[in-house]
Structure 1
């Protein structure tokens, strides 16, 4: 039944080998979250942690639960869904097993932790493929349903997602890419300061690197049914959008919550525990829709005699197995001791795309803009502080030769880096500004989003306007005059493009950035339109690259075209994640792995290109000075 999973082995192995945190680990499957799939009547759970170890067919658990309704006789259905397949679907009449000890259900409070060995006759190992213990971000869940005998009323329904400890979301990747971005920033800043050449390619490659990280992170914001492994991979680059993993009760998030609620905000705060428990059940990692009472009727029943015979030896081995059998558990016990009820009609369900993404980082959907806004403020504050410190050093070094012109040159240099920081912040800020408008939550957040948009328009729009005006009223050649202050200040927009024919090409990536943000934020309700617009945009940008070839060197054209093709390819592959297409989970996971590999190769290429250009600019030409090479 699970043989179709075997072809995932190569992808899983490759990802684990490439992961910087790969280490020897005992194979296990455990519960990663737990929710009620129907309002509880008989069974109340406050802690539910279970782990299965295949090496010795043992189960370890930590459970806190209570049976609270008297004189209830039930049948129990245990249903397991892994990648849309259903390897286990058993229904037991609890009155016919264990000598009737569970008929009616005894009223008791149970809290305890223990481990037990399962009899070989159950054949659990034969039902679980080995790939399930090693593939990153396993997609599966177990559901326990207690149905009252005679009436057919559901007395308890509990779902627990399954995990194996492997994930494409790794702290080491976040720190590595973040550290690389900081190094690239400092190197580009130093090179541009010492070379005083606005056309130096190193600062442009720094912006390209951050833009690629943002592209990876934003590729998981569309309203698509992403496989869990790709969503986890994209979370590694969330910092490039201004979203950092945090605690739902952290100081920043708590402050934002208070501000929102005091200014008309009505959206929910970030939930405690894993966001996976609130994911729409049609999406990964659930890949099913067995939440509503009507949906439970589709579960098939099986004769319980076989399982009864298999459990009898276990009862002699472990006398308390009966009590442990009626509980499900949670790997991450809820802080408040409250297990949430999540059904098709629940208001707490997280829909595909941006809501799932930000809540996976413990940032509430309503907090997303304010979080990114505060991070952008910190980035600009750090950048201004560095520029101010640099100006102090500049004045001390050139104190004897300081002139008004030199002071003006440093001012233009500072303006150029403020423009670069604005270009970096533009995409994430636009996404969450537009998204905040769709939420209609908290007038203070909306006001700040409008002011932020005005600030971005001034910081980027004004230099763009003056560049186009100067080229039209005078001459495009004047834009590239080395001593011209406009080149020093607004060079980050156009200086990397061919003189003077394609100075205006900077408009293409700017328009593309705005349109991507518009599609992500305003087309969330229609995933088909969203991905169609995205693919069309990426195809147009690739075509423009191929037709115009705006860079002065073939290498520059090849590099920019490569990055554009990567974005187009990933957008095209994402079509398979359309919810309406209902592509099976395993093909979606394979496509997700392919997208991970494509973006991984792109990151390597961009990083290598940055260092090659950095080394090239640092090596002097024969007979030249530093920075002339």
Structure 2
């Protein structure tokens, strides 16, 4: 919605068509044009122009003007500058040396009415004018040719759109806590991004990255969509920064780079020509020559200032260059980033971000240390104060996971289009480090899950055990417990997408087809598993992925091999802008909604973990007479059988597991009673050898100690215990489970007692 508002802001302006530059479209012409600035004001039906050029000799010429819009020729005219009705003194004849003409002329109504109103409303109109000057003496040979793309001043490449997108991403960062700051404020209790609802910061930036990467394919984009995708370059680490580019050029020049073919200074003077023959200039605005005319009948003016022999201070010049670009090169060089500087630009931007994260976390650490000296800070920050290095590691790992797809793209592009051996080495090293870090965490999570499954029957400890959750949850925190592994195909998806776009650069059909397959596979996985913990998360991710698949399918319309008309391509581009802008607005609304909802609801994984921790703390405070005694947790509850008889069912598996875990942490009071009874009996038996055993002893001749009668309930063991004797100072006795003398194993290290403990579940 914000993007549409930004576009609508230009409607209130005057209806003006103008040229923003030109290119010389013919080789070795005798006439060279250095300046063509023409503007048509539809409100007062006037044309303002400023033309300068040079000629090697005096020539009589005819002029041929053609104007096309969206691939269709809408105007064509040939006129003689020396004819009385179309007289132009500076072209009748063309003088030798430098010449110029500037002025304002009114356009007759019959010509002004030929311009459709839509030309003043649609941003980035695909209109182009071509002017040729043909010699009268040499059989109509072309002596000059200039081309220009016409603009109405409205474009989808607006700084405000980038600012709004940055604001949405920043809002997601604050609302969801997917950052190092989020890890700091969580007090170490959760990893960065722990359990955030969708759309999170990572998902929002990933959406922006997808739109930017769509603009990098080697297809014939309409100007309106090409300009739109530039607004999201920031999400991939590309920023126009002239000082940074000059520094990278110096680095490349010292490490094998060829600055005569590709450099920032060279790019400033180069006009970019796209596959649809439209042209553009960099974001820095330093490009020279471009486009020509909106209507060269402007030169039949009477109110014209002319000059001969001037110095020609035009916007173009003989030093201006043109270069045909496509794909990744076209995308980055629109942002004043030479293609050979692309990887180093992103590397330095990411290095600055990492440095800012580290400094911010260390600054918080310093503040907490001073706080601790002069007062007491919140207990929730105590964990961060002790484990701040872990917070730094989590934040950097989150950044790697966020940028991995575009990092693969830029590294592969550097390998294939870079010219500096040092930059290629850095690309290989960083890609290996990033991949190694993700591979390490993948191995650790899988091995941890396998151990948990062997020990407990399922890997739910990844969510329930706090120490594991803190280390690894940033990879799987939004997934259900059964689908914790889904982060692996997501990483593979990012890797494949980056490789396809970079390795297929220059082959639009291969790029679009490969990307469509990858996007469709991920969509199928989401529809099949619906892996996210929250129902809203499943819906949002599926909708985003559906839009991605449809977007790539629409990009097939721009593939040159299919030969689809430019009008259809432009309509498709406008539809893509509308759909992607609408989804971006919906994501922004959902981010705000989730921020409000987060104040009222708790992450389900965190909530369950806290409940289990509370239950275990309660188990640690059990007493023999406590109603929560562990023996009662596994009681047989009476139920009515199918024939009316009374049956008993054991407590749930979850209750049993929780009971056993609690008893493993704190020795059961009955075990303490049994140990006390045994020690007391041994003491008395050693002082009176002739004792005939007023106490019945535990023996192997009685009931089996364990393993053979698991169907006997623990309540029977308790009810069968012998009464407490007075001479033992009311010490509890062992359960009466048999008859006979003492088992000799008690005198051999207490094996019988160990057997009793094994029966009890320890």
Return the offset for 1:191.
Answer: 4.8
Residues 227 and 534 (structure 1), Cα distance of their counterparts in 2 relative to 1, 3 Å cut: same
Deviations 1:452-472 (A, max 9, x none): 112212332221221122212
1:432 pairs with 2:424: no
1:358 pairs with 2:358: no
Number of residue-to-residue matches in the alignment: 568
Which is further off, 89-98 or 148-157?
89-98
1:349 pairs with 2:321: no
Residues 407 and 544 (structure 1), Cα distance of their counterparts in 2 relative to 1, 3 Å cut: same
Return the offset for 1:492.
Answer: 1.1
Specify which of 416, 434, 439 is matched with residue 394 of structure 2.
Answer: 416
Residues 311 and 371 (structure 1), Cα distance of their counterparts in 2 relative to 1, 3 Å cut: closer
Alignment of 1:219-368 (within 5 A): 219-246=214-241, 250-266=242-258, 267-270=261-264, 271=266, 277-284=271-278, 317-318=302-303, 333-334=315-316, 337-338=317-318, 340=320, 342=322, 348-350=323-325, 352-368=326-342
Residues 415 and 15 (structure 1), Cα distance of their counterparts in 2 relative to 1, 3 Å cut: closer
1:584 pairs with 2:565: yes
Specify which of 450, 461, 476 is matched with residue 494 of structure 1.
Answer: 476
Alignment of 1:195-206 (within 5 A): 195=186, 196-198=189-191, 199-201=194-196, 205-206=200-201
Specify which of 8, 26, 31 is matched with residue 38 of structure 1.
Answer: 26
Residues 554 and 507 (structure 1), Cα distance of their counterparts in 2 relative to 1, 3 Å cut: same
1:479 pairs with 2:474: no
CA contact (8 A) 2:30 2:55 kept: yes
Distance, in Å, in 1 between the alignment partners of 2:46 and 2:87 is 24
1:69 — aligned with what? Answer: 57
CA contact (8 A) 2:35 2:50 kept: yes
Alignment of 1:174-213 (within 5 A): 174-187=162-175, 188=177, 189=179, 190-195=181-186, 196-198=189-191, 199-201=194-196, 205-213=200-208
Residues 543 and 281 (structure 1), Cα distance of their counterparts in 2 relative to 1, 3 Å cut: closer
Deviations 1:212-271 (A, max 9, x none): 11111111111111111111111111111111234xxx2111111222233222342245
Return the offset for 1:129.
Answer: 0.7
What secondary structure, in the 3-state scheme, does the structure 2 residue paired with 1:605 have? helix
Distance, in Å, in 1 between the alignment partners of 2:348 and 2:116 is 46
2:596 — aligned with what? Answer: 615
CA contact (8 A) 2:54 2:98 kept: yes
1:443 pairs with 2:417: no
Specify which of 78, 90, 99 is matched with residue 110 of structure 1.
Answer: 99
- Between 1 and 2, higher relative CO (CA 8 Å, sep ≥ 6) is seen in 1
Return the offset for 1:519.
Answer: 0.8
TM-score normalised by L of structure 1: 0.82
2:643 — aligned with what? Answer: none
Alignment of 1:157-176 (within 5 A): 157-176=145-164
Return the offset for 1:406.
Answer: 6.1
Distance, in Å, in 1 between the alignment partners of 2:335 and 2:440 is 35
Specify which of 579, 588, 608 is matched with residue 598 of structure 1.
Answer: 579
2:132 — aligned with what? Answer: 145
Deviations 1:384-411 (A, max 9, x none): 1222223334445567699997655544
1:127 — aligned with what? Answer: 114
Return the offset for 1:329.
Answer: 12
What secondary structure, in the 3-state scheme, does the structure 1 residue paired with 2:78 have? strand
What secondary structure, in the 3-state scheme, does the structure 2 residue paired with 1:135 have? coil
2:66 — aligned with what? Answer: 79
What secondary structure, in the 3-state scheme, does the structure 1 residue paired with 2:200 have? helix
Distance, in Å, in 2 between the alignment partners of 1:170 and 1:99 is 41
What secondary structure, in the 3-state scheme, does the structure 1 residue paired with 2:57 have? coil
Distance, in Å, in 2 between the alignment partners of 1:41 and 1:571 is 43
Distance, in Å, in 2 between the alignment partners of 1:490 and 1:35 is 56
Residues 91 and 321 (structure 1), Cα distance of their counterparts in 2 relative to 1, 3 Å cut: farther
RMSD across aligned positions (CA): 3.3
2:633 — aligned with what? Answer: none
CA contact (8 A) 1:62 1:329 kept: no
Residues 239 and 585 (structure 1), Cα distance of their counterparts in 2 relative to 1, 3 Å cut: same
Deviations 1:417-459 (A, max 9, x none): 2211111222222211111111141112111111211221233
Return the offset for 1:373.
Answer: 1.1
Distance, in Å, in 1 between the alignment partners of 2:267 and 2:33 is 16
CA contact (8 A) 1:50 1:329 kept: no
Distance, in Å, in 2 between the alignment partners of 1:99 and 1:166 is 33
CA contact (8 A) 1:409 1:488 kept: no
Return the offset for 1:381.
Answer: 1.0
CA contact (8 A) 1:48 1:329 kept: no
Residues 628 and 279 (structure 1), Cα distance of their counterparts in 2 relative to 1, 3 Å cut: farther
Which is further off, 237-246 or 609-618?
609-618
CA contact (8 A) 1:42 1:156 kept: yes
Residues 204 and 479 (structure 1), Cα distance of their counterparts in 2 relative to 1, 3 Å cut: farther
Distance, in Å, in 2 between the alignment partners of 1:387 and 1:100 is 70
CA contact (8 A) 1:67 1:109 kept: yes
Distance, in Å, in 2 between the alignment partners of 1:584 and 1:15 is 27
CA contact (8 A) 1:221 1:520 kept: yes
What secondary structure, in the 3-state scheme, does the structure 1 residue paired with 2:478 have? coil
Residues 398 and 203 (structure 1), Cα distance of their counterparts in 2 relative to 1, 3 Å cut: farther
Unaligned residue ranges in structure 1 (runs of 5+): 1-12, 287-306, 343-347
Distance, in Å, in 1 between the alignment partners of 2:277 and 2:29 is 27
Return the offset for 1:40.
Answer: 4.2
Return the offset for 1:502.
Answer: 0.9
